[in-house]
Amino acid sequence: MTRRIVYLAGGVGGSKLAVGLASLLSPDELTIVVNTGDDEEFHGLHVSPDVDTVMYALAGLTNEVSGWGVTGDTFSGLSMLERLGAPTWFNLGDKDLATHIRRTQLLRQGWSLSKVTNELSQQLGIKHRIVPMSDDSVRTVIHTPEGPLSFQDYFVRRRCEPSAAAIDFTGADTAQPSAGFSEALQEATAVIYGPSNPIVSIGPILALPGLRERLQAFSGPRIAVSPIVGGEAVRGPAAKMLRELGEEPGVGAIARRLAGLCDILVIDETDRDAASEVERWGMKAVAEQTIMTNIEDRISLAGRVLELAS
């Protein structure tokens, strides 16, 4: 029987394991479902940061130093936008801007975000399916003492400094999972949660109507990889946000958020002693080397996750 893996991903961490999985799975064995809760419009252009991070990673275009954007990109356009009086706190390289220009053009022609993502992926030579979690608008809002902030406003402009009092996913109550996501889940033999922020990357996906129920009822193996290692996020504000929301940032918090939705949580080997914190939430803990610094790490971790999923 052919494996049909549905892989749920946010940005940088999620994209690294995506590359590993795509190295080991054929295109018909893998569907990469990406968070769109932190999509935002900049300069009138539709930016899908997580979709792009995954897309650039699979196309071999990632700027590995910064972790976002396109390698070798220039920033002439942004400097001109600044000169023209536009707010430029969100860093956008010229090649990256081209992606947003093209996406926006196709969206305005009436294409769905799924269709646009498929088109851009194909043009970039990507063989595996990347699908946005939804073609409808879902926007992550961080409620802070400064007022509600969009995710990018919080994450980039305010550098995650304000305390997160609560998180909303505006539009999630009526948004539908994209057809590509829904169909892939229907046919899936296993579900993998990437090492992405449980609150703002996996959270918006789980907030889609019916998704939790479908994942709860899913009969195949469900494997997650913890984005928290040694009580800190490998990258990004996950640990800080968990703390502010009153949770101890550790593998236990990841397990708690996936309780009933996951069978095995892959934790870093440095967290081996915390396995019981995972298992109290009704899932198995498996300790692995989860830090992915190079392509070998990505393939190795993907291979181990696929073993657990079989």
Interface with a copy of itself (CB under 8 A):
43-45, 70, 73-74, 76-81, 83-86, 93-99, 101-102, 104-105, 108, 119-120, 123-124
Residue among 192, 160, 257 at smallest CA distance from 29: 192
Return the number of the residue (126 or 190) whose C-beta is nearest a copy of itself: 126
Pairing of strands 222-225, 232-233: unpaired
Return the number of the residue (113 or 202) whose C-beta is nearest a copy of itself: 113
Return the number of the residue (79 or 294) whose C-beta is nearest a copy of itself: 79
Residue type, 39: D
Q: Are 247 and 281 in contact (CB under 8 A)?
A: no
Return the number of the residue (104 or 163) whose C-beta is nearest a copy of itself: 104
Backbone angles phi, psi at 194, to 5 degrees: -70, 165
The least CB distance from residue 103 to a copy of itself, in Å, is: 9
- Provide the sign of the torsion angle of the four alpha carbons 85, 91, 95, 96, taken in this order: negative
Return the number of the residue (40 or 268) whose C-beta is nearest a copy of itself: 40
Burial 166-186 (b: 16+ CB within 10 A, else e): ebebebbeebebbebbbebbe
The least CB distance from residue 18 to a copy of itself, in Å, is: 20
Residue with tokens 């979690």: 133
The least CB distance from residue 153 to a copy of itself, in Å, is: 18
Token representation of residue 133 = 């979690």
The least CB distance from residue 54 to a copy of itself, in Å, is: 16
With vertex at residue 162, the alpha carbon angle to CA 158 and CA 166, rounded to the nearest 5 degrees, is 120
Pairing of strands 264-268, 190-193: unpaired
Return the number of the residue (85 or 145) whose C-beta is nearest a copy of itself: 85
The least CB distance from residue 122 to a copy of itself, in Å, is: 8
The least CB distance from residue 119 to a copy of itself, in Å, is: 7
Query: What does each C-alpha distance from 115 to 36, 121, 180, 198 come to in angstroms?
Result: 14, 10, 10, 27
